[in-house]
Amino acid sequence: MCGFCFLFDRYTPPALAKQRVTECLLAMQHRGPDAGRIEASGAAILGHRRLSIIDLTGSKQPMADPSGRYLLAYNGEIYNYHEARNQLAGRWCFTTNGDTEVLLAGLILDGVNFLKHLEGMWAFALWDSLERQLLLGRDRMGKKPLFYQILPKGGLACASELSALRKLSAIPWHEDEHSTADYLRYGYNMPGYTAWQEVGEIMPGHIAQWQPDDKLHQTTWWQIQQHSFAGNTQQATTMLHESLVAAVERRMVADVEVGAFLSGGVDSSLICAIIRKELDKPLKTFTIGFEEAAFDERCYARLAADALGTEHYEEVFAGWDEDELERLLLNHVGQPFADSSLLPTAMVSRVAARQVKVALSGDGGDELFSGYQRYQARNILRWYTRLPKGLQHLAEKSIRALPEPTVHHSRSLIKKAHLFMDIVERQQAETPYFAPLMFSPDQLRKLAPGLEAMGHSPPGILDVTKPDDITRMMYADALIYLPQDILTKVDRSSMAHSLETRSPFLDQQVVELAFSIPRYWHRHGFSGKRMLKKSFSKLIPSAIWRRRKQGFGVPIHDWFRGRLGERLRSLANENISGILSAPAITALLNEHKQGGRDHGYRLWLIYAYLLWKQQNL
């Protein structure tokens, strides 16, 4: 796992351009502490920071082909690189033992079509010095990041992180208010966009081509295929078992030790169980707990670790740390980001990084196998909307009259009822569904007057023949929520501690199989992940299968009734944003502190934005 950058700027003196690339790489040293190099090809400069996982002493980057025409910088891992190398062996004389040269050779010999034969995660930049053409690419699901900026006078810069990209040019960046509107709605940006007007993102499953004095042209090289599973449930169960075991085995390929995150939920427990029981490999596991019992999953993680016989490590997340959050937001994410589990994800990554350089995670299991509570809520919503309007009004009035608890929703029916009323309130705005909304339209209008009509159109969600609501939600979550929130959080948090994370659920075979299976095989009534359970029911303790869905929640709700609430009030009163309404923020905070409503996640979203804005005036 690594970080890289590219700069083409004919009008900046070569020495200054190289200095900027050097500063860019220094800002990404956490992504690659093992080695760093810079290579120039005319006005094009590529820089690379390396975290050595495969071919530890070889495969130096940027890597040139034997003729010197092509230069490659690459961030990621190709798990089937041995097979891909064998396919190319008759046409290429390999001099290294890693996956970097395989990617270089394949792109030169077979072009973009070579990517379709690869299984892994990546972002790359390939410079053709003869044609003066740059090829950029990202993996199917968007595990690895890649940002770019078109420079004046026909130049371009790109980098693995936003804060590093800023080092490549003296051109000031400006807030994109359309992206701010997206952020306030969803808690993150839409694919392809960033918080900055001048900066874009290569989208998952896309490649981009660029030449000096031209625009950057993005095209799709992969998307989730639309087809229906032809067999019966038993055949699907067998295929799922074989596919996921193979996906985990592929992700164990490394020249360093591989560990795994273990929260005690179904997804992470299942990955660990496959490693221990199916592959019979030793395993170190890592978890984070909370002092607040409602958010603490350590007992389930210990249960799984004991049952599987892993070498288990855990720490307790003590609380909110503004300095750490500021470091993560500004130095690693580089833009507003509302997922409060960024902090504990960074902490569990730090714990893991003391023992291993690679950790497997359960990311993707909820999106692919219908695990989220919001899918269950959509089923209930269908029933609820058939009730007489008067009865609906009475239900809403009765629930809202009850104080909303701050405990995790898995511990309180009253909390679940309040969250369901939020969904009812947002129903029209979330149709068609693209992602869960953080605010109702009325709340957004009060918070950010003038932004309610702004925002970027979400990228096209693959049309499904006569989709039910839940099927569309699963597609949208896999294509928007997963890369823009979950994978962003895990990549920035783990790489902040020089830890590579791998996600077996995001294996191409697993993804395409999961979306070919009829939705009602995954979820029936209030029960999701049914196909996972059919395939692996005996592999993990029954108590983990039976436990209520929790997720990596953070007790920010209580924090905002204490010191964090006062910090937010101070930021709001400074009125530094010029976009958000300080009275609206104060009203939300007061209602939260008085105990009538739990606005914890909304307040965190506002807090993260104002903290970022304070540093980017």
- Tens of pLDDT along 173-209? 999 999 999 999 999 999 999 999 999 999 999 999 9
| Cis upstream peptide for 432 (omega within 30°) | yes
What is the per-residue pLDDT across 337-368, written as a single tens digit (0 to 9) for each?
Answer: 999 999 889 999 999 999 999 999 999 999 99
The average pLDDT across 34-43 equals 95
The average pLDDT across 25-50 equals 96
Q: Pull the structure tokens for residue 200.
A: 């874009």
pLDDT surpassing 90 at residue 13 = yes
What is the per-residue pLDDT across 315-342, written as a single tens digit (0 to 9) for each?
Answer: 888 777 778 888 998 899 999 999 999 9
Q: Tell me the backbone φ, ψ of residue 39, rounded to 5 degrees.
A: -130, 140
Question: Which band of pLDDT confidence, cut at 50, 70 and 90, is reported for residue 555?
Answer: confident
The domains located in the chain, with CATH, are 2-220 (3.60.20.10), 233-370+488-546 (3.40.50.620), 386-426 (no CATH), 555-617 (no CATH)
- Per-residue model confidence (pLDDT) at position 424: 76
- Per-residue model confidence (pLDDT) at position 596: 78
3-state SS assignment for residue 527: strand
Neighbour tally for 65: CB within 10 Å: 16
CA atoms within 13 A on the CB side of 335: 31
Q: Pull the structure tokens for residue 591.
A: 């209602």
Cβ atoms of residues 464 and 475 within 8 Å: yes
- Per-residue model confidence (pLDDT) at position 550: 59
- Per-residue model confidence (pLDDT) at position 438: 93
More confident position, 291 or 174: 174
Task: Say what the pTM is.
Answer: 0.93
The average pLDDT across 2-19 equals 95
Residue carrying the six token digits 């707990």: 289
Pairing of strands 258-261, 358-360: parallel
- Per-residue model confidence (pLDDT) at position 418: 73
Buried-state track 550-575, b at ≥16 Cβ within 10 A, e below 16: bbbbbbbbbbbbeebbebbbebbeee
Mean pLDDT of the chain: 90
Q: Give the least confident one: 2-6, 76-80, 313-317, 585-589.
A: 313-317
- Per-residue model confidence (pLDDT) at position 617: 65
- Per-residue model confidence (pLDDT) at position 552: 64
Cβ atoms of residues 227 and 367 within 8 Å: no
Nearest to 296 by CA among 200, 408, 162: 408
Nearest to 500 by CA among 121, 116, 6, 98: 121
Distance, CA of 48 to CA of 103 (rounded, Å): 16
Percent of the chain's residues with pLDDT above 90: 67
Residue carrying the six token digits 């208010």: 177
Cβ atoms of residues 509 and 229 within 8 Å: no
Distance, CA of 394 to CA of 371 (rounded, Å): 30
Q: What is the dihedral of CA 320, 266, 435, 182, to 10 degrees?
A: 30
Q: Which helix (DSSP H) or strand (DSSP E) does residue 525 occupy?
A: none
What is the per-residue pLDDT across 380-436, written as a single tens digit (0 to 9) for each?
Answer: 777 777 778 888 788 777 777 777 776 656 566 777 777 777 777 777 777 788 888
Compute the C-alpha angle 296/277/526, nearest 5°.
50
Beta-carbon contacts of residue 542 (< 8 Å; ≥ 6 apart): none
N-to-C CA span, the chain = 33
CA-based torsion, 134, 140, 145, 147: positive or negative: positive
Is 617 buried (19+), middle (13-18) or exposed (0-12) by CB count in 10 A? exposed
- DSSP per residue, 220-242: ES---------S-HHHHHHHHHH
Cβ atoms of residues 108 and 64 within 8 Å: no
What is the per-residue pLDDT across 451-489, written as a single tens digit (0 to 9) for each?
Answer: 988 999 887 665 554 456 888 889 999 999 999 999 999
pLDDT surpassing 60 at residue 168 = yes
What is the per-residue pLDDT across 213-259, written as a single tens digit (0 to 9) for each?
Answer: 899 999 999 998 778 888 999 999 999 999 999 999 999 999 999 99
